[in-house]
Amino acid sequence: MADRSLPQETIDSASQRGAVGKLKRYLTPQPRWWIGLGVIGLLLAVAAPIVQNQLVAQETQSAEADEAKVLSVETLTVDAVSSYEVSRSYTGEIAALRSSDLGFNRGGELVRVLVEEGDRVSSGQALAQLDIQNLQTQRQQLEAQRAEAQARLLELERGAREETIAAARAEVRDFENQLRLQEQQRSRRQFLYEQGAIAREQLDEFAFGAEALEARLDRAKSNLDELLNGTRPEQVAAQRAVVQQLEASIADLDIDISKSTLKAPFDGIVSAQQVDEGVVVSAGQSILRLVEEAPEARIGMPQAAASRLQAGDAVTVLGTERHSAIVKSVLPEVNPDTRTQLVVFQLEQDAVGRVNPGQTVRVELTETIAASGLWLPTQALTQDIRGLWSAYVLVPIAEETDEEDIYEVQPTAVEILHQESVSEAAQNEPRVLVQGTLQEGDRIVANGIHRLVPGQQVRPID
């Protein structure tokens, strides 16, 4: 078999190429892994403090998170009430202002005007006067006649005086004596006539004289009997009627005198004076113009609300402005359609010129309603199921913690009885009256309940 060995120079050439290849691989750039290790070491050296700080921060945040689990909350202690007040508003309008042209109901000379234009006057105040001198003279005459009639009536009621009766008796005795004397003289004349000593005429003269004395004696006796028996009832009644007639005439004259003074029919302001002093005016002629000073508000209210008001009660009437007012009257009639009563309010004097007839106004009244419950701020409630609401009650858990001021909150269901607006609430914040399992003296979270969940630990803020 032939020897197929390569030539020597061929072997040397191959060896050289291998050596050159190794050299090229050595000299050719390769991945500098050792450079990466250096960079990593450098980064570790730089990042080590940062990582350490982050670990410290994480530990701090973890501690703060543990502390944050106990929230600080504002609390309040609830108190029970047995009633609450409700403000109700009733609407009405300003009544038309009254104005009157004032005059006398009788004619006469205007002697005095007691007011001037722009003066404020009160109801019943005197404004002007007529001349009443002739009326006063007539009254004096009537008073004299009445005094005379009353004296005569008193005499008739009491009867005759003892002196008058004694005088009447004396008069009767006198006539009796005269009659006896006349009878004796007539008897003598009768004897003389029968003897023919005197004429018939002389006898008749004494006879007629005796008859006249008998008549006068009868009249004196009748007068004495009347005095002894007293006055007849008809005479007393007639005289009493005379006295009453004179008194009626005086009263009628007093009315004329009273109406001679012009008086204000209502409170108001004198807006005009049409006549001056010294003018003779006729009945009904306008002397002054009076405009009502204090306007009125007329408001219909339910009977229950109207029954709580009394004349003189102070209220506030609200319109474009607030006006103080008092209850003037509560009309008794009930409107059959609205079942309301009309209440009249007298506004303050400052309201003149600031309200107009027909202007809509309202009055707000407070009504006390009996109901047991507890007042809570609106912010202390959260929506619960089935239309109810809940408040978070603080439950002590001091035995489970190292701190005594840590509590646990638990929801307590309540029902809202009444809600007050900001304007109604005395504390200037909305509140509600509730009832339920919440008890008087319970301590609840006052606000910020959106941050809480049942079982949340809290720390009260005093």
Least confidently predicted of 77-81, 264-268, 420-424: 420-424
Domain stops at, among 369, 387, 407? 369
Q: Residue 299's closest CA among 361, 366, 365, 367?
A: 361
The answer as to whether 186 is a domain residue is yes
Which DSSP string do the residues of 169-237 spell out, in sequence order?
HHHHHHHHHHHHHHHHHHHHHHHHHHHTSS-HHHHHHHHHHHHHHHHHHHHHHHHHHHHHH---HHHHH
Same domain? For 265 and 236 the reply is no
**Rounded alpha-carbon distances, angstroms, from residue 447 to 382, 392, 404:** 10, 10, 22
pLDDT, tens digit (0-9, with 9 covering 90-100), for 89-131:
999 998 877 889 999 998 999 999 999 998 888 889 999 999 9
The answer as to whether 19 is a domain residue is no
Question: Which tokens is 8 given?
Answer: 């020597």
Same domain? For 216 and 303 the reply is no
First to last CA, the chain: 117
The answer as to whether 411 is a domain residue is yes
**CA 370 to CA 81: how far, in whole Å?**
9
The answer as to whether 20 is a domain residue is no
Same domain? For 207 and 272 the reply is no
- Check residue 13 and give its pLDDT: 46
Domain stops at, among 369, 393, 408? 369
Q: Burial level of 320, CB count in 10 A (0-12/13-18/19+)?
A: exposed
**Rounded alpha-carbon distances, angstroms, from residue 79 to 31, 41, 375, 435:** 83, 70, 7, 12
Contact assessment for residue 318 and residue 292, using Cβ atoms and an 8 Å cutoff: no
Checking if the pLDDT of 63 tops 70, the result is no
- Check residue 133 and give its pLDDT: 92
Q: Are strands 288-292 and 268-273 parallel, antiparallel or unpaired?
A: antiparallel
pLDDT, tens digit (0-9, with 9 covering 90-100), for 70-84:
899 999 999 999 998
Give me the mean pLDDT over the 24-40 stretch: 50
**Rounded alpha-carbon distances, angstroms, from residue 164 to 1, 160, 168, 177, 459:** 220, 6, 6, 20, 116
Same domain? For 270 and 300 the reply is no
pLDDT, tens digit (0-9, with 9 covering 90-100), for 241-260:
999 999 999 999 999 999 99
The answer as to whether 12 is a domain residue is no
Q: Number of structural domains, the chain?
A: 5
pLDDT, tens digit (0-9, with 9 covering 90-100), for 270-295:
988 999 999 999 998 999 999 877 68
Give me the mean pLDDT over the 186-193 stretch: 78
User: Of 14 and 369, which is predicted with more confidence?
Assistant: 369
Edge-to-edge strand list for the sheet holding 261-263: 261-263, 126-130, 108-113, 280-281
- Check residue 229 and give its pLDDT: 66
pLDDT, tens digit (0-9, with 9 covering 90-100), for 435-446:
988 999 999 999
- List phi, psi (to 5°) of 105: -95, 10
- List phi, psi (to 5°) of 247: -65, -40
**CA 427 to CA 75: how far, in whole Å?**
16
Same domain? For 384 and 406 the reply is yes
User: Of 175 and 23, which is predicted with more confidence?
Assistant: 175
DSSP H or E segment with residue 50: helix 33-68
Same domain? For 334 and 350 the reply is yes
- Check residue 35 and give its pLDDT: 54
- The residue assigned the tokens 């006063």 is 136
Domain stops at, among 369, 386, 412? 369
Same domain? For 363 and 427 the reply is no
Domain holding 37, by residue range, is 30-57
The answer as to whether 158 is a domain residue is yes
User: Of 230 and 236, which is predicted with more confidence?
Assistant: 236
Helices 233-258 and 133-158: crossing angle in degrees, nearest 10, is 160
CATH, residue 281 = 2.40.50.100
SS3 136: helix
Task: Compute, in degrees rounded to 10, the torsion defined by CA atoms 222, 227, 230, 235.
Answer: 70
User: Of 151 and 42, which is predicted with more confidence?
Assistant: 151
Q: Are strands 340-347 and 71-77 parallel, antiparallel or unpaired?
A: unpaired
Question: Which tokens is 105 given?
Answer: 């109901």
SS3 252: helix
